[in-house]
Chains A and B, each alone.
Chain A
Amino acid sequence: MIPLEYWLVLSSLMLAIGAYGVLSRKNAIVVLMSIEIMLNAANINFVAFSTYYPIVHTGINANGQVFALFSIAIAAAEVAVGLAILLTVYRRYRTIEVDKINILRW
């Protein structure tokens, strides 16, 4: 069985990679993909802790898997709305670079 620390380190690295993508990339679709990487890091944590539940307690607890499924569903909803917004912004401004989209700025 792979130790729990390995999953947590993988999740930490994925979170950091996603945060770097959000902060440094200009293409809004890549920013959305980076946010997805960060959400998947959280999902890995959910499933890892749920899988390791029987080591500390007795019985099986699949709540982590259930929460990961909910998280995936909410991520799908978020991406659907995000891509639709990007499509509208592209039609209006012919770009999806986040540095150039300042229509929501005061």
Chain B
Amino acid sequence: MSRGGYLRGLAILALALMFIGAVLSVHWPSPPKDFDQTNETPTNQDVGNAMFGQGTNPGYGLVMLLVGVLLLVALLGGIFLAKEEKEEDEI
């Protein structure tokens, strides 16, 4: 490995250690003894309710529409970019 590679590795290692140190220096809340995870974990229905809204919660329907438009534009852009250019016939 080149000297630059070692420097990059050391920089990333320092970054990772800084992240881990920052995470471990915080006192994160831990679940109580009687915490029932099966009843408190979001289900598919909860994810659907959060995404499309339920009751007073408006949800993220408009955002999902915009993401769909983004995916369509990316698809068309990808096809346009990857399209093979035809060479013009020389007469």
What residues of chain A have their CB less than 8 Å away from a CB belonging to chain B? 1, 3-5, 8-9, 12-13, 15-16, 19-20, 23-24, 50-52, 54-56, 60-63, 65-66, 69-70, 73-74, 76-78, 80-81, 83-85, 87-88, 91
Q: Evaluate whether A73 and B67 lie within 8 angstroms (CB atoms) in the complex, with A23-B8, A24-B9 already known.
A: yes
SS class, residues of chain B in contact with chain A: helix
Q: Is the pair B77, A81 in contact by a Cβ cutoff of 8 Å?
A: yes
Tell me, in angstroms, the Cα distance from A80 to B82 when the chains sit together. Answer: 10
What residues of chain B have their CB less than 8 Å away from a CB belonging to chain A? 5, 8-9, 11-13, 15-16, 19-20, 23-24, 28-32, 35, 37, 40-42, 46-47, 49-51, 60, 63-64, 67, 70-71, 73-75, 77-82, 84
